[in-house]
Chains A and B, each alone.
Chain A
């Protein structure tokens, strides 16, 4: 205890001049003085620790809105806006063609493979046989998918950079990219409207049956013959054929609308109107070029 005051004065920087020099000299040779110094240094450290914990407790009790890793309201709102934007863009594009939303499995598979040309399905996989309608859809979907990737990548980059995010909505694709289907692949019917027309390659004979109650607007492909059920005598019709790889797809043009003819269907099937704008555009182009 006899060193308490002098050590306290030293630690509080109250010693100066000769008193300070004498203290340091004594410190070099006096173990008891050293022990007292060490003890008081630890007292001061304990006091500091107490204050630090006091302040930390105070800070701990302050409510904060969550750390950087937490989802804030702003982030959630931004996320919803981005999703809504991307979703709206996708809806705008896909919404052009209702049928394209009906068979997402085929589309996603083809998009995943990213074919350069539309490949016909094998006989083992009849459900995956792509019609030209689907082919057009695939082409379009490929473009859409790539655009979606770009949108998401940009969004992620912006998220990471911490910038304010405004969704980039991809422009809907209205124009058909006609260079995707070569004109060489298109077989133009050789005859004009008003006659029974079909491509030479198909060797299909066409007959019309208009007196069936059950089948008023149907078709059937049977033993190399195309049977049209309905009043097809009232107005001229036209058959169009498009090559797709090793396969050919057949379409009926009647009263300003196009219908798909599935050559593999031997049962009587209703004629379904084609709504795919891209395919319609291609068929219009083909029809206009026909002699």
Chain B
């Protein structure tokens, strides 16, 4: 499988193609972080995050490759690691202030919703994640999940989101979210 074939498969949402490049570039990308004061675990996290950003852009159709995939992923890794180093630097220089606290609150709420997403059925979970994270169109979702047409996918998405809304509100008080 050559680079273009892998990229085309990733653009079509083929997760096995993502596995292929993950293995292919693992050492190259983690070396970037490790050789710049990062740990093995940090290197792995950064590489995975970078690959997910790459995946998201490729699947949503917002990526036109003008360089090699490795070059593009490498630049994402570099940016993410710079941000992380900057964040760590700030963390040591400053005490937790208000914005940090607010970030923490927000992260907690997102974690709660994430747990609620797992309570949805598999199809619902896929419809919502494909739409909101992968940026797939309704037509693509319909094709991927075997729905009759785009309208079916759209209706499914509406219902699934409504269901998630209900789960969250039933499990957590309004004050947990709307303070």
Q: Do the beta carbons of A67 and B30 come within 8 Å of each other?
A: yes
Interface-located stretch among A43-51, A83-91, A276-284: A43-51
Interface-located stretch among B81-89, B95-103, B104-112, B139-147: B104-112
* CA–CA, A46 and B19, complex, Å: 24
Interface-located stretch among A54-62, A99-107, A235-243: A54-62
B92 within 8 A of A: no
Residue of A with least CB distance to B44:
A67
Q: Give the chain B neighbours of A46 by CB distance below 8 A.
A: 109-114, 116-117, 168
Q: Give the chain B neighbours of A59 by CB distance below 8 A.
A: 18-19, 22, 48, 51
* CA–CA, A45 and B105, complex, Å: 13
Q: Do the beta carbons of B110 and A42 come within 8 Å of each other?
A: yes
Q: Do the beta carbons of B19 and A67 come within 8 Å of each other?
A: no
Q: Give the chain A neighbours of B68 by CB distance below 8 A.
A: none
Within 8 A of B (CB), among A60-90: 60, 62-70, 72
Interface string of A4-44 (1 = CB under 8 A from B): 10001000000000000000000000000001001110111
Q: Give the chain A neighbours of B118 by CB distance below 8 A.
A: 50
Q: Do the beta carbons of A56 and B178 come within 8 Å of each other?
A: no
Partner pick for A68 among B43, B52, B133, B165, CB 8 A cutoff: B43
Q: Do the beta carbons of A67 and B48 come within 8 Å of each other?
A: no
Residue of A with least CB distance to B51:
A59
Interface string of B112-150 (1 = CB under 8 A from A): 111011100000010011101110000000000000000
Q: Do the beta carbons of B129 and A54 come within 8 Å of each other?
A: yes
Q: Do the beta carbons of A4 and B165 come within 8 Å of each other?
A: yes
Q: Give the chain B neighbours of A35 by CB distance below 8 A.
A: 178
* Shortest CB distance B133–A (Å): 4
Interface string of B166-179 (1 = CB under 8 A from A): 00100000000110
Residue of A with least CB distance to B15:
A58
Chain B residues touching A, range: 35 or more
Partner pick for A58 among B19, B43, B114, CB 8 A cutoff: B19
* CA–CA, A249 and B164, complex, Å: 97
- A-B CB pair tally, cutoff 8 Å: 108
Q: Give the chain B neighbours of A66 by CB distance below 8 A.
A: 27
Q: Do the beta carbons of B133 and A52 come within 8 Å of each other?
A: yes
B63 within 8 A of A: no
* CA–CA, A47 and B120, complex, Å: 11
Interface string of B35-74 (1 = CB under 8 A from A): 1000010011000100110010000000000000000000
Within 8 A of B (CB), among A214-259: none
Residue of B with least CB distance to A162:
B31
Residue of A with least CB distance to B24:
A64
Residue of B with least CB distance to A11:
B132
Q: Do the beta carbons of A68 and B31 come within 8 Å of each other?
A: yes
Q: Give the chain A neighbours of B15 by CB distance below 8 A.
A: 55, 58
Q: Do the beta carbons of B110 and A68 come within 8 Å of each other?
A: no
Residue of A with least CB distance to B116:
A46
Partner pick for A64 among B23, B51, B112, B132, CB 8 A cutoff: B23
Residue of A with least CB distance to B112:
A46
Q: Do the beta carbons of A50 and B125 come within 8 Å of each other?
A: yes
Q: Give the chain B neighbours of A62 by CB distance below 8 A.
A: 19, 22-23
Q: Do the beta carbons of B48 and A47 come within 8 Å of each other?
A: no
* CA–CA, A5 and B177, complex, Å: 19
Q: Give the chain B neighbours of A63 by CB distance below 8 A.
A: 23
Q: Do the beta carbons of A47 and B109 come within 8 Å of each other?
A: no
Partner pick for B132 among A48, A53, A58, CB 8 A cutoff: A48
Interface string of A113-133 (1 = CB under 8 A from B): 000000000000000000000
Q: List 6 A-B contacts (CB under 8 A).
A: A4-B162, A46-B111, A50-B117, A54-B129, A55-B15, A59-B48
Name A residues whose Cβ lies closer than 8 Å to a Cβ of B: 4, 8, 35, 38-40, 42-56, 58-60, 62-70, 72
Which 4 A/B pairs are nearest by Cβ-Cβ distance? A46-B113, A68-B31, A51-B129, A51-B133
Q: Give me 19 other A-B pairs in contact (C-beta within 8 A), A39-B178, A47-B128, A49-B113 excluded.
A: A43-B165, A44-B132, A45-B113, A46-B113, A46-B117, A46-B168, A47-B132, A48-B129, A48-B132, A50-B118, A50-B133, A55-B52, A62-B22, A65-B27, A67-B31, A67-B43, A67-B44, A68-B35, A72-B27
Name B residues whose Cβ lies closer than 8 Å to a Cβ of A: 15, 18-19, 22-23, 26-27, 30-31, 34-35, 40, 43-44, 48, 51-52, 55, 106, 109-114, 116-118, 125, 128-130, 132-134, 158, 161-162, 164-165, 168, 177-178
